[in-house]
Structure 1
Amino acid sequence: MPRTGRLFEIIQILRSSAAPVRAEDLAEKLEVSKRTIYRDISALQAMRTPVEGEAGIGYMLRKGYDLPPLNFDEEELEALHVGLAMLMRTGDGSLQKAAERVSHKIKDVHATADWLQVAPWGAPLDDPELGCVSKALLRKAVRDSRKLRITYVSPERGETSRTLRPLALIYHIECTMLAAWCELRGGFRHFRTDRMFAAEMLDGGFAPQAGTLRKLWMEQEGWDFAFAP
């Protein structure tokens, strides 16, 4: 999580707590070290955010402090409600949790639009305990332009090991696909995430070529996606 997002989350956690929150509890919730939390608290205090407390005791947000309201019109709020609900169809557990957090933040300052309902059925949830590759890992590889090594099983060719330069995630209704440059095939391919049985992020990056590759992929494929052979 980027630092700006983490600072915002710390404020949200402290806002919703009636008692001091220990640095170790913040660190566990945000999946960072206590040292990082101490630095973040110092940064918030330097920005005049009224965080009170100290290491070993816990931290609280001074009563009455609030974030600026989110200014959306009615249709923008309805679009957000539907869009966030549709993330349930992606099977991306990490994005679903993020959508819940965003929804709670919106509900803090705006009335909910529960009368707009979205059916949750779609791609299966990515559960690493069941052998499914985490979509959060794939998104990170795309975001950071890091190579992936995957084990992929297709009905036509069986199991293969691929080294990929991941370029985009495509969320269909019933599946999610990773668009990538496949070093085995020497070209752009699309891989269903539910056919990946292992994925490892490699040390090698391709950031200097990522923008060019993504542009070529978009020009070549458009929206006429091809499955990986």
Structure 2
Amino acid sequence: MFEVIQVLRGARKPLTAQALAERLEVNKRTIYRDIAALQAMRIPIEGEAGIGYVMRRGFDLPPLMFDADEVEAIVVGLALLRRTGDAGLQMAAASVGTKIAEVLPQESSHSIDSRTLQVSTWGASVPGIDMKAVRRAIREERKLRLGYLDAGNQPTQRVVRPIALVYYVEVAVLAAWCELRDDFRHFRVDRIASMKTLQERFTGHGDGLRLLWEQTRPLD
């Protein structure tokens, strides 16, 4: 709903639910639900389905209230995402920093771009696969077909149920239920040579698999 407000605030003409859905990568039903919820909270959104929606001029979000330590935690946390090698998270971190700076009180907003807190850029290398697609598959509980190179550089094909990404300083690891091994396996993303998102889902099983994995994982 915050994203809906931000998009409408910056729009120069009415936006249809379809346009909002495409912009925010959700379906129209979600947009209709969120618009109705925002209007119920007296957010001045005007319009209707089939015509489009606009934000009444002059509306602004209340300032976020963070103390100095909280702002510095945000700065360091967003900067650390540069070390994951995940380009999608890096872009999202930059966007988050900009959005937070826009709604912070003026005396605090400059701290988001503070030069007093530095984080090294050394970390995991950029993988050859689309990490955003991996994270989406985890959220949507979709199976992946991986072309994987083991420690001996031997290729293997796996169909897996992805359940988590673990980011280390030097590498990111995909935790998944491997259908070939009928067990949990951990795949270094820098060794995944190819990846395809399958239509087949494991809907409703993700939480259970994660719980079992967390009880047995040797990663820590």
Using structure 1 for the length normalisation, give the TM-score. Answer: 0.75
| Structure 1 unaligned regions, length at least 5 | 1-6, 127-131, 225-229
Give the structure 2 partner of residue 153 of structure 1: 149
Say which of 190, 194, 204 aligns to 2:201: 204
Partner amino acid, structure 1, of 2:122: W
Deviation at 1:178, TM superposition (A): 0.2
Deviation at 1:36, TM superposition (A): 6.5
Distance 2:214 2:28 in 1: 43
Give the structure 2 partner of residue 29 of structure 1: 23
Deviation at 1:50, TM superposition (A): 1.0
Give the structure 2 partner of residue 4 of structure 1: none
Say which of 58, 68, 71 aligns to 1:64: 58
Distance 2:48 2:165 in 1: 42
Q: Does the 8 A contact of 1:20 with 1:60 survive in 2?
A: yes
Identity over aligned residues, as a percent? 50
Q: Does the 8 A contact of 1:87 with 1:99 survive in 2?
A: yes
Distance 1:174 1:147 in 2: 26
Q: Does the 8 A contact of 1:149 with 1:163 survive in 2?
A: yes
Deviation at 1:152, TM superposition (A): 1.1
Q: Does the 8 A contact of 1:179 with 1:191 survive in 2?
A: yes
Q: CA RMSD in A?
A: 2.9
Partner amino acid, structure 1, of 2:180: L
Q: Helix, strand or coil for the counterpart of 2:97?
A: helix
Q: How does 1:1-229 map to 2 (within 5 A)?
A: 7-17=1-11, 19-20=12-13, 22-23=15-16, 26-31=20-25, 41=35, 44-52=38-46, 59-108=53-102, 109=104, 110-113=108-111, 114-115=114-115, 116-125=117-126, 132-156=128-152, 158-196=154-192, 197-205=194-202, 207-208=204-205, 210-224=206-220
Q: Does the 8 A contact of 1:181 with 1:189 survive in 2?
A: yes
Partner amino acid, structure 2, of 1:203: E
Return closer, same or farther for 1:47/1:112 CA change in 2, 3 Å cut-off: same
Of 21-30 and 92-101, the range deviating more from structure 2: 21-30
Of 22-31 and 138-147, the range deviating more from structure 2: 22-31
Q: Does the 8 A contact of 2:8 with 2:15 survive in 1?
A: no
Partner amino acid, structure 1, of 2:61: L
Return closer, same or farther for 1:52/1:145 CA change in 2, 3 Å cut-off: closer
Distance 2:126 2:50 in 1: 39
Distance 1:202 1:152 in 2: 20
Q: Does the 8 A contact of 1:133 with 1:199 survive in 2?
A: no
Distance 1:43 1:186 in 2: 44
Of 58-67 and 21-30, the range deviating more from structure 2: 21-30
Distance 1:181 1:83 in 2: 30
Using structure 2 for the length normalisation, give the TM-score. Answer: 0.78
| Structure 2 unaligned regions, length at least 5 | none
Return closer, same or farther for 1:182/1:157 CA change in 2, 3 Å cut-off: farther
Deviation at 1:181, TM superposition (A): 1.9
Deviations 1:32-66 (A, max 9, x none): 56787566545543443212457898654223322
Distance 1:11 1:217 in 2: 38
Return closer, same or farther for 1:189/1:59 CA change in 2, 3 Å cut-off: same
Deviation at 1:80, TM superposition (A): 1.1
